Structure formats: structure tokens, C-alpha cells
């Protein structure tokens, strides 16, 4: 049985929320880089386990790139 009409009382997502700080803080670029590096590392382990050499290599490169971007961002913050 389908429902017709529809409530229309839903709030649009993102409205009324404070904007996130793009230079850091919860959910900022540094947090994103840390999450990406961790996810790529775990996926690389999975690729290794199943002998997907190219995927393993690409995911290892993604981990290195995320770590490098994080290093460069922290260096800029010190300047």
C-alpha cells in the first residue's frame, strides 16, 4: 500500500547549523585526511589479503598522499 500526499514538514538538511571551520576543528580537513589515510590503509590490507596487487599499490599511494597532505598542512600552520 503506498502513501500519497506527503507530510512536507521535514526540515532541509544543513539549514540552521553553524558553518564548519575550514581550517580545522571537528570535521575539518585534517580530520578528513586522517580518516582517508586510515581507510586507505585498511583497504590496502584487504587488497593484499586477496592478492589484488594493483589495488594494493594504489591504496598505498593514497595513504602516502594523505599523510603528505597532512604533513604539509601542519607545516603551514607552524609558519
DSSP states of 53-67: HHHHHHHHHHHHHHH
pLDDT digits (tens, 9 = 90+) for 4-17: 555 555 444 444 44
- pLDDT band at residue 72, thresholds of 50, 70 and 90? very high
Half-sphere exposure of 17 (CA within 13 A, CB side): 8
**For position 76, what pLDDT does the model report?**
86
Name the DSSP class of 46. Answer: H
* pLDDT at 52 > cutoff 90: yes
List the chain domain ranges: 29-78
d(CA 70, CA 31): 9
What is the residue-averaged pLDDT of the chain?
Answer: 81
d(CA 32, CA 30): 5
How close are the terminal C-alpha atoms of the chain, in Å? 63
Amino acid at each position: 500500500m503506498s502513501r500519497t500526499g506527503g507530510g512536507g514538514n521535514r526540515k532541509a538538511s544543513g539549514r540552521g547549523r553553524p558553518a564548519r571551520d575550514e581550517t580545522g576543528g571537528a570535521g575539518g580537513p585534517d580530520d578528513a585526511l586522517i580518516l582517508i589515510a586510515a581507510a586507505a590503509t585498511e583497504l590496502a590490507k584487504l587488497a593484499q589479503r586477496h592478492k589484488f596487487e594493483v589495488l594494493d599499490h594504489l591504496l598505498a599511494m593514497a595513504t602516502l598522499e594523505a599523510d603528505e597532505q597532512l604533513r604539509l598542512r601542519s607545516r603551514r600552520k607552524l609558519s
